[in-house]
A and B are shown apart, each in its own frame.
Chain A
Amino acid sequence: MKARITLCLICLICSPCWAEKPVFDIEIKNHLFHPSEIKIPAGTKVKLIIYNRDSTPEEFESYALNREKVIMGGRKATIFIGPLSAGTYPFFGEFNPRTAQGKVIVNEI
């Protein structure tokens, strides 16, 4: 019984981290992001899965989001962003910054 209560408590404490976060897919093709704008709700942590469909590597980078990650050609990468306040957060591909530009738009629910 005691063990069961402990287990329930652990589940309760950890449930926020285990709860499924909204997932958003982004593709990199010809050094462009598709979609180049993603809309996410404010105050929510979301998971981005970025698929690099090019043969060359790319680095997903954002100063506003404090994120950077190398994604090899033909591979995918996962990153978490948020919780964020309403606003626009630009990101870019560091290896092709002229074309690979995008933004995360955060809206109040």
Chain B
Amino acid sequence: MLLNSVIIILREVLEAAILVSLLLALSFSLRLGARWLLWAILPALLGIVGMATFIDTITDAFDGAGQELTNASLQILVYCFSLLIVSVSAGLIIANNKTSLLRWLMALAVVCALIREGSEIFIYVAGFSSAEELRAAVFIGSGIGASIGISLGVLILSGLHALTPARTYQVTLLLLSFIAAGMVMQATILLQQVDWLPSGKPLWNSSHLISEQSITGELLYAVFGYESTPTTIQVVIYSLSLIGIALPWLGRNSFWNSKHVD
């Protein structure tokens, strides 16, 4: 139970921690500080408790598709906020108060990601800590899992922060694009799970190369949305999402380069 709690919580925390670290690194490189992260905490907590409390109603809604629709919506929202963050920071969207807009967008992206990952942690911990013989193992295991996940997030943040601000900006935008596209792909799978999107036979099977259960597989999943057996529609939607979010900052980079050549 202890080890299992560590693994479950670590998986969920790591996914959220990677996104938070990236946005923090981006925020530091743009001199936006970290205060916006505090704005995200209360709405995220309310969302997590709300979703866990009403999970039965949510699950049964839309003919049993409610849970998937809610999670898919949260992931698509993370993509939309990331797309806006990229577009605003690349100067594609002109705003009067760019810094405050970016802070709000980052906070909103974090709120959605935390609700998605956090509600599952809440359901697990609340469900198993009610049994007295399991309580200690669940709490200790969850604590260890969360600590490892957060430490890895801090490690990623300090790694990105060690680069020059211009390089941090480029690397975080690149990784954010992949993570956001991965979110859309996860949403696609959820919609296929409830038959809202058509499914099909997988386009390839790379599970013998990199298993989704391996540590490499889990990390690739968290950053690139790695699937060992993707269907055609998943690959198409992933590619379109990636192109959609990469265009603004690719445009910006070539604009930068052309200025440097002059």
Contact = CB atoms under 8 A, between A and B. Distances in A.
B131 A70 contact: no
Contacts of A56: 127-128, 130-131
A73 B194 CA distance: 20
A84 B205 CA distance: 12
Contacts of A11: none
Contact of B64 (A77, A84, A95): A77
Task: Indicate the member of A17, A47, A78, A98 with the most B CB atoms within 10 Å.
Answer: A78
Given A56-B131, A75-B59, A69 B199 contact: no
B222 to A, nearest CB: 14
Contacts, number: 77
The winner among A21, A71, A85, A95 for most chain B CB atoms within 10 A is: A95
A57 B198 CA distance: 29
Interface in A7-29: 17, 21
Interface residues of B, number: 33
B194 A80 contact: yes
Mostly, the A contact residues are: loop
Interface in A56-109: 56-57, 59, 63-64, 66-67, 69-73, 75, 77-80, 82-85, 94-98
A47 B195 CA distance: 9
Contact of A97 (B4, B65, B128): B4
Interface string B95-130: 000000000000000000000000010011001101
A45 interface: yes
Nearest to A66: B189
B154 interface: no
Contacts of B128: 56-57, 95
A66 B194 contact: no
Contact of B120 (A17, A63, A70, A98): A70
Interface string B1-13: 0001000100000
Contact of B8 (A66, A82, A94): A94
Given A63-B207, A73-B127, A84-B201, 5 more contacts: A47-B195, A56-B128, A66-B193, A72-B56, A80-B195
Interface of B: 4, 8, 55-56, 59, 63-65, 67-68, 120, 123-124, 127-128, 130-131, 189, 192-195, 198-201, 207, 211-213, 227-229
